[in-house]
Amino acid sequence: MAIPKYFQSLLLRLASPTLARPSRPPGFDMTYRPTARVFLPPWRTRLPSLLYLALTVVVATIVFVAEHSSSNSTLYVHLIEKGSQRLISPRTFALLLLLSSISAVLRTNMRGVRVRGDGIEYRDIVSLIIPKLRRLRWAQMNRIMLSKSGLVTIDLWDGSRIFLPMVQDRELLAKTLEQVALARAIPIEGGTGLDDYPEVDDLPEVSGG
């Protein structure tokens, strides 16, 4: 005797993505630990600070060459002699620029996502200096949503929603999170469909004797 499609549809509705995933060996879900990876921010985010650093290195090099040039050279006259009459000397100005560019590079690279064995952590900049660090354990996650644009959204069990910062290798981050979601029975949306439920029409007909 075949199972009517009405009951097949009812069974699929009960298997809602908000509930636990299909059962796996006891203890497997809670013991799965992904390989630790660090995902840096995209190049378009890091490039401006790197260009700024390169520019300040050029300026510092010019000041260094001018200080070690002869006293009648053009660089020495315009930068060292005339610069000594200004409020800030060329050497001090170049040093401040160099320190500023180095701090900009460090601040930019503080952003990103780190996948750990017990969860994830992400950093973002909330002020000019202070980075924000947040750690999330896998058990806190109620749902993971992956968009085609690379945005990763995580719903937590306390009802809050987290938006992870953009990273360079978005595909690898999405694949890693999908593997964790599949192993730990975390509902996921927008993945590659590794754990999608079949449609009603795709279910095999079960006949009785």
The one-digit pLDDT tens for each residue of the chain (209 residues) are 454 544 444 444 444 444 444 444 444 455 677 888 888 888 888 888 899 999 999 988 988 888 887 777 777 777 777 766 777 888 888 899 999 888 888 888 778 888 888 888 887 766 656 667 888 898 889 999 988 777 888 999 988 888 888 888 888 888 888 888 888 888 888 766 654 444 444 434 444 44
Looking from the CA of 12 toward its CB, the CA atoms found within 13 Å total: 14
CB 189 within 8 A of CB 145: yes
pLDDT for 55 equals 93
pLDDT for 203 equals 38
DSSP-assigned letter for residue 205: P
Q: Where are the domains of the chain?
A: 43-109
Q: 198 CB contacts (<8 Å, ≥6 apart)?
A: none
Alpha helices in the chain (DSSP H): 5-14, 28-31, 43-67, 74-75, 90-109, 170-184
